[in-house]
């Protein structure tokens, strides 16, 4: 029988959100809820599987892993790209890569979380909640109102544009920057194009919405953070390595910026002893940007369709493999 592995199903919802019953008649299906260390643990755990179903980039698929999976015939990915997958290694070994082009209803899940983090940090909501519950506290912080403040958006792509749209409803002033942004693109979103230094210097909130690549890795370092107002906050729902982690930790510890809302990290899942967990001026979420029922349902349904098509001899292949490593 064909053996299928569903990887990194943290909430154990993959079998509930899509109908796998037809596949279960001719395949064995095993769900892995915990992240597998790459390559050794993953190679041992997945050696007997023909098909592996990934969820975004929760687990990398480098050549060192692919070459140790002798039975592997199909990798399904969710979304149009997965930069942590070595597409060349998969192709060389005859492994089909099939993807979902459907991002879910409206692509609003990550922008909504970004605004959840903005509000949570600006009004110290988690901190006040903890103090009320554990210490009997009452009004221990002074929040930051948003109307009239300046929101600086690093990137105005699919996610950044929705963040800007929501921001207009809050009455914030919008400024934006990225390496290739034009005045017209910014104006379309109601934002003013500024240079990078101006964005970090003038923003009360900086929110990151660029793709991780060689040119965006450590895009926000000690220099950029030093430009920020002491009252400003940083929001990252993009990718962890876009921010130089040590520089952010140092600034938060010293109070050089007011706080941060972080959904993505250099190492995921975030180690239990990571020092950022101990900082009170940070709101942390465990990479929840896309983790919404409507989005995940569409992706798992597409995964089932991709496997079914593959087994029927009509695989839904990755249409443009060159995008896998491109910003």
Residues carrying an active site annotation: 239, 268, 287
Structural element, H or E, at residue 152: strand 150-154
Of 120, 113, 65, nearest to 93 by C-alpha is 65
184: left (phi over 0), alpha (psi -120 to 50) or beta: alpha
Residues 245 and 222: their CA atoms lie apart, in Å, by 9
């Amino acid at each position: 029988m064909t053996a299928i592995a569903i990887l990194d199903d943290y909430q154990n919802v993959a079998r509930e959100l899509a109908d796998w019953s037809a596949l279960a008649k001719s395949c064995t299906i095993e769900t892995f809820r915990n992240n597998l260390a790459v390559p050794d643990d993953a190679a041992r755990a997945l050696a007997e599987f023909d098909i592996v179903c990934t969820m975004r980039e929760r687990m990398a698929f480098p050549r060192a892993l692919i070459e140790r999976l002798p039975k592997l015939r199909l990798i399904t990915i969710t979304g149009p790209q997965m930069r942590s997958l070595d597409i060349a290694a998969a192709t060389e070994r005859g492994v089909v890569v099939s993807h979902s082009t459907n991002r879910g209803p409206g692509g609003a899940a990550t922008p909504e979380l970004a605004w959840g983090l903005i509000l949570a940090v600006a009004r110290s909501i988690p901190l006040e909640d903890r103090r009320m519950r554990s210490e009997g506290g009452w009004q221990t912080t002074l929040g930051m109102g948003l109307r009239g403040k300046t929101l600086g958006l690093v990137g105005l792509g699919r996610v950044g544009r929705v963040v800007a749209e929501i921001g207009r409803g809050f009455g914030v002033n919008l400024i934006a920057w990225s390496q290739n942004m034009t005045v017209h693109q910014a104006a379309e979103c109601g934002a003013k194009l500024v240079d990078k230094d101006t964005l970090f210097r003038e923003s009360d909130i900086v929110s990151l919405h660029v793709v991780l690549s060689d040119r965006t890795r450590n895009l926000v370092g000690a220099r950029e953070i030093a430009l920020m107002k002491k009252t400003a906050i940083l929001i990252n729902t993009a990718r962890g390595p876009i921010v130089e982690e040590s520089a952010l930790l140092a600034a938060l510890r010293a109070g050089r910026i007011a706080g941060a809302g972080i959904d993505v990290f250099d190492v995921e899942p975030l180690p239990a002893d990571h020092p950022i967990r101990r900082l009170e001026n940070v709101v942390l979420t465990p990479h929840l940007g896309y983790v919404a029922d409507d989005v995940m349902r569409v992706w798992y349904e597409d995964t089932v369709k991709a496997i079914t098509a593959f087994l029927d001899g009509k695989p839904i292949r990755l249409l443009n493999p060159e995008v896998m490593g491109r910003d």
